[in-house]
Amino acid sequence: MKIDNFIKKIINRSEYVFISIGLSFICFLILLLTDVIQIFLGMPSLGKFIAATTVLISFILVGKIFFNIHYSGLFEEIKLSKYNCMDNLLITLFCSLVAAFTSVLIYQIDFMINPDVTKSIGYFIEKINNAGDSYMNNPVDVLIFIIWVAIAVAAEEIFFRYTLYKVFVKEKEDVKIFIILSSIIFGLYHFTSIARFFASLTMSIFLGIIYVMTKKLVYSFIAHLLWDYFVSISGSFMGYFEHFNNVNIGIHVFICGFTEVIILCLLILLSGYAYFKRGYILPLKVRNKI
């Protein structure tokens, strides 16, 4: 689809713009509610667990009440996700790798424009070395962390991919509209800075591509979950990079770069396994899609 045709389609579907604005406002209210829950409970692990569960329930209710979304098809997608699993996982990891690389570029440009010392890797390494134990200092806290991140990711994928796909895609040509508008809402939902907005928007674009290409929510969920887990654990490895104290690298560049390296390793391992198992990495029809 040419860019002028795409713009005309957006204009013809102008109601989508108003829907996007309304959904962005709803997302803001849900974020506000989760902040109130965490402040009220005053317990990092339990508060985040309950907040994530609240987000999941809220997103499902928004889909049901405002758009009459039936989530029975979601379970069918999960059942069918076992087919073409290898191909879909390779697509997932490849798109995740490109998204991570793009995030590195976004955060490095932001750090070059705003070289704030409190956002440098050296500052954070020093802070980690001087800090005490993390609040995740026992197996129960670690387990709650694993669960609440999975619930939060599931909530976001069900809403931003499954629900918004059904809201925006009425015909095949609407797929691009879905990817762009859902990604803008996703970026606003995660907005804490301009760089974070563009990094989240880019990540959502690739999650949308994964969902459209695989036609299964499981794979965008896997990509999103891996990203959140790797980003979360990156701080634990920062102490091993003390010799980078004087390197002009932003903390978010390190985190995204760390995540990118892990995803690249997973992609290489899975590609090697696929080649060993069947004599090729991806079939021709899948390579043509990419």
**Quick one: tokens of 265?**
């390793």
Bridge partners of 120?
Answer: 250
Residue corresponding to tokens 């989508």: 16
Instruction: For residues 182 and 204, give the distance between their C-alpha atoms in angstroms, rounded to a whole number.
Output: 8
Q: Can you give 31-51 as a three-state secondary structure string?
A: HHHHHHHHHHHCCHHHHHHHH
Contact 271, 90 (CB under 8 A): yes
Instruction: For residues 31 and 275, give the distance between their C-alpha atoms in angstroms, rounded to a whole number.
Output: 44
**pLDDT tens, residue order, the chain (290 aa):** 556 665 566 556 678 888 999 999 999 999 999 888 888 876 677 788 888 999 999 999 999 999 999 898 898 888 888 888 999 999 999 999 999 999 999 999 998 888 776 677 766 666 655 655 455 567 777 888 899 999 999 999 999 999 999 999 988 888 999 999 999 999 999 999 999 999 999 999 999 999 999 999 999 999 999 999 999 888 667 666 666 556 667 888 888 999 999 999 999 999 999 999 888 887 766 666 66
- The reported pLDDT for the residue numbered 281 is 83
C-alpha closest to that of 178 among 157, 153, 191, 161? 161
Query: What is the number of alpha carbons within 13 Å of residue 216 lying toward its C-beta?
Result: 21
- The reported pLDDT for the residue numbered 43 is 65
**Quick one: tokens of 112?**
């070059």
